[in-house]
Amino acid sequence: MSNNNDDFQNISGRIIDMIVGSTLKKHGVKLDPNRIDPEQREEIKKIVEDLRKSADSLTKKTSEEDNSEKDNKDETDK
pLDDT in tens, 8-25: 777 878 888 888 888 888
How far is residue 76 CA from its own chain's centroid? 34
5 class by beta-carbon count within 10 Å (0-12 exposed, 13-18 middle, 19+ buried): middle
pTM of the model: 0.48
The domain limits of the chain are 2-77
pLDDT in tens, 15-65: 888 888 888 888 988 877 777 788 988 998 898 888 888 888 888 888 887
